[in-house]
Amino acid sequence: MDRRVVITGIGGLCGLGTNVAAIWKAMREGRSAISPITNSELHELNGTIGAEIKVLPEHGIDPKQSASMDRFSLLAVIAAREAAKQAELSVDEENTHRIGAAVGVGICGWDAIETNYRALLLEGVRRAAILTAPKVMPSAAAAQVSMNLSLRGPVFGIASACASANHAIASAVDQIRLGRADAMVAGGSDAPLIWGVLKSWEALRVLSSDTCRPFSADRKGLVLGEGAGMAVLESYEHAARRDAKILAEVAGAGLSADAFDIVAPSVEGPMAAMRACLSDARLNAEDVDYLNAHGTGTKANDPIETAAINRVFRHHARSLSVSSTKSMHAHCLGASSALEMIACVMALREGVVPPTANYRVPDPDCNLDITPNVPRERKVRVALSNAFAMGGTNAVLAFKHA
């Protein structure tokens, strides 16, 4: 069934702000949220940088439900509630089985895992907290969103590392296209600013010591952040019937695997995903105005992504506006491409390309127009969002005006 899928609501929170308006304002200003982490009680994090949500907003979630959530699930529910509110999505007994949720996550409930390890191994507690298992399961965020919004349609979690949110949105689009749902709440969430997680990434020697500088020759690596982004997706007919305001259309999705290396990226996998996305969206390369790059700021990833973009877009790569918003909200793992979805939707709506912040030194191996430091006004008819994960799992989404 060839059903058009549109976005009628978006929600999010990250180090840049605790709602979409605040996030987009910071992106337009080219403001980075990367700073020393302050919220952890673990002294080992002193001096460690990240993009942290300093204070959570008043969210009105039932304390009994929030007590059963790890932080990544709480962030997902807050973002989903904002998206549902903007979409004016009303759920009742007649439609509840036709609305579902898909939430991507990269590392799931490490806050609960680490808290219990400390209690059991260091403090001599005999038994783990009773809700530890349901808190840490990768599908917990999707389940909590479904319970909070009373969604009884297709509900599932997606775990494909840094491509999880794009995979979740693509999978949600499929549910609607196939007629299994009329609407889906989809996106991603992660809360990786945890001692054990940071130490694991530190061991890979890919973390930056100062900030994230994607595509800049003096880049030192990525920076981790926390956050969530969610969208209400609907079939065009469903949105039109209820006279919903349409923000953008999800024009297509392209998925691929490198089948190459567990950590090292390849050129061919990202190329295949971008080409598959353009084909699914029935677009030519020349139709794309803005590309939100995966752009992690590592020595290896940025030139490989640049090469893939150049091969897919050929001569049009010179006319393409590219940026990495990870320079501002950092790499939020399973939430990153959901926050980048917000950047794409807002770029379409306002005709502004958010910049790549912190850029200083041109790199001949990253020879794209990466919108350095300052936002650019231009008409954006089509935006692509790249997400390329460890293990070589790639997911690219195309957004356009409905």
Helices and strands (DSSP H and E) totals, the chain = 13, 14
- Residue 317 in any domain: the answer is yes
Verify that 175 and 284 share a domain, yes or no.
no
DSSP string spanning 275-299? HHHHHHHT--GGG--EEE------T
Mean pLDDT, range 287-310, rounded to an integer: 98
pLDDT in tens, 180-190: 999 999 999 99
Q: Is the pLDDT at 139 greater than 80, yes or no?
A: yes
- DSSP 8-class letter at 119: I
Task: Output b/e per residue, 122-152; b: 16+ Cβ within 10 A.
Answer: eeeeeeeeeebebbbbbbbbbbbbbbbbebe
Give, in order, the Cα–Cα distances in Å from 231 to each of 3, 78, 117, 153: 18, 12, 34, 16
Q: Is the pLDDT at 40 greater than 80, yes or no?
A: no
The tokens for 146 are 């479904």
| Residue among 371, 362, 312, 305 nearest 343 (CA) | 371
CA distance 263 to 269: 13
Q: Could you tell me if 226 and 335 are in contact, meaning their C-beta atoms sit under 8 angstroms apart?
A: yes
Verify that 146 and 222 share a domain, yes or no.
yes
Stronger pLDDT, 110 or 311, i.e. the higher one? 311
Cα angle 159, 169, 263; round to 5: 40
Q: Is the pLDDT at 2 greater than 90, yes or no?
A: no
- Residue 246 in any domain: the answer is no
Verify that 164 and 295 share a domain, yes or no.
no
Confidence class of residue 46 from pLDDT cuts 50, 70 and 90? low
Verify that 151 and 288 share a domain, yes or no.
no
Report percent pLDDT > 70 for the chain.
98
Verify that 28 and 74 share a domain, yes or no.
yes
Confidence class of residue 292 from pLDDT cuts 50, 70 and 90? very high
Q: Could you tell me if 13 and 19 are in contact, meaning their C-beta atoms sit under 8 angstroms apart?
A: yes
CA atoms within 13 A on the CB side of 192: 28
Q: Is the pLDDT at 153 greater than 80, yes or no?
A: yes
Catalytic residue IDs: 162, 294, 331
CATH classification of the domain holding 116: 3.40.47.10
pLDDT in tens, 332-391: 999 999 999 999 999 999 999 999 999 999 999 999 999 999 999 999 999 999 999 999
CA distance 81 to 84: 5
Confidence class of residue 1 from pLDDT cuts 50, 70 and 90? low
Verify that 197 and 257 share a domain, yes or no.
no
The tokens for 31 are 């403001």
Q: Which residues pair with 186 in a beta bridge?
A: 102, 231
pLDDT in tens, 68-127: 999 999 999 999 999 999 999 999 999 999 999 999 999 988 999 999 998 999 999 999
Estimate to the nearest angstrom the gap between the alpha carbon of 290 and the chain centroid: 17
Verify that 307 and 219 share a domain, yes or no.
no
Residue type for position 385: S
Verify that 380 and 316 share a domain, yes or no.
yes
pLDDT in tens, 188-199: 999 999 989 999
CA distance 368 to 77: 37
Is this prediction's pTM over 0.75? yes
- Residue 17 in any domain: the answer is yes
Verify that 68 and 168 share a domain, yes or no.
yes
Estimate to the nearest angstrom the gap between the alpha carbon of 132 and the chain centroid: 25
Total Cβ atoms within 10 A of residue 118: 13
Q: Could you tell me if 6 and 402 are in contact, meaning their C-beta atoms sit under 8 angstroms apart?
A: yes
Estimate to the nearest angstrom the gap between the alpha carbon of 318 and the chain centroid: 26
CA distance 371 to 90: 39
DSSP string spanning 13-40? EETTBSSHHHHHHHHHHT---EEE--S-
| Residue among 52, 13, 328 nearest 188 (CA) | 13
Total Cβ atoms within 10 A of residue 198: 22
> What pLDDT score was predicted for residue 38?
86
Contacts of residue 288, Cβ cutoff 8 Å, sequence gap at least 6: 278, 313, 316, 320, 382, 383, 384, 398
Q: Could you tell me if 345 and 247 are in contact, meaning their C-beta atoms sit under 8 angstroms apart?
A: yes
- State how beta strands 290-292 and 49-51 pair: unpaired
Verify that 180 and 326 share a domain, yes or no.
no
Number of structural domains the chain divides into: 2
The SS3 of residue 173 is helix
To the nearest whole number, what is the mean pLDDT of the chain?
Answer: 96
Verify that 205 and 265 share a domain, yes or no.
no
Range of the domain at 179: 5-241
Confidence class of residue 44 from pLDDT cuts 50, 70 and 90? low
Verify that 277 and 216 share a domain, yes or no.
no
Categorise residue 266: left if φ over 0, alpha if ψ from -120 to 50, beta otherwise: beta
